[in-house]
């Protein structure tokens, strides 16, 4: 991989029709009335970030691949503030990927500014386990 013998395009895998549900961003299991509001959420298998975030994830977006979402793995506090005050695209959906595996061994992804009709998403990335 370090020598560039494995081309990135050969390692990419697509997963279509990932169901979107609602989950709390704080991931607390206490009282749902005090934890904050749930938001659009989906889980993906662990990603191989050795190539870098922008090359490891080729696409996240709608199932028909017409509307790509921007994505990031950085801290939510800074990103939500920066994206909130942009002149263009501040209402466009974007995905926060939590790189810490959850109890299922998957990565949690939260969609900000998600349209209410979104039920499924697609992703093309380099996964740690290609199965």
Measured between alpha carbons, how far is 55 from 42 in angstroms, rounded to an integer?
A: 21
Measured between alpha carbons, how far is 4 from 29 in angstroms, rounded to an integer?
A: 44
pLDDT of residue 32 exceeding 60: no
76 token code pair: 């939510």
The tens digit of pLDDT for each residue in 70-111 reads 888 886 655 555 556 566 666 788 888 988 898 999 999 999
pLDDT of residue 38 exceeding 60: yes
Following DSSP, what letter does each residue of 41-105 receive, concatenated? EEEE--B-GGG-HHHHEEEEE-TTSSSBPEEE-S-HHHHHHHHHT-SSSTTS-EEEEE-S--TTS
**pTM reported for the whole predicted model:** 0.82
């Amino acid at each position: 991989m370090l020598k560039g013998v494995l081309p990135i395009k050969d390692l990419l895998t697509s997963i279509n029709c990932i169901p979107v549900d609602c989950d709390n961003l704080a991931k607390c299991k206490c009282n749902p009335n005090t934890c904050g509001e749930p938001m659009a959420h989906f889980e993906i298998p662990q990603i191989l970030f050795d190539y870098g975030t922008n090359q490891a994830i080729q696409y996240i977006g709608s199932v028909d691949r017409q509307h790509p979402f921007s994505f990031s793995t950085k801290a939510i506090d800074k990103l939500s503030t920066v994206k909130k005050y942009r002149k263009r695209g501040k209402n466009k959906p974007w995905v926060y990927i939590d790189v810490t595996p959850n109890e299922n061994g998957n990565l949690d992804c939260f969609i900000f500014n998600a349209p209410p009709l979104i039920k499924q998403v697609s992703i093309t990335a380099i996964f740690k386990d290609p199965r």
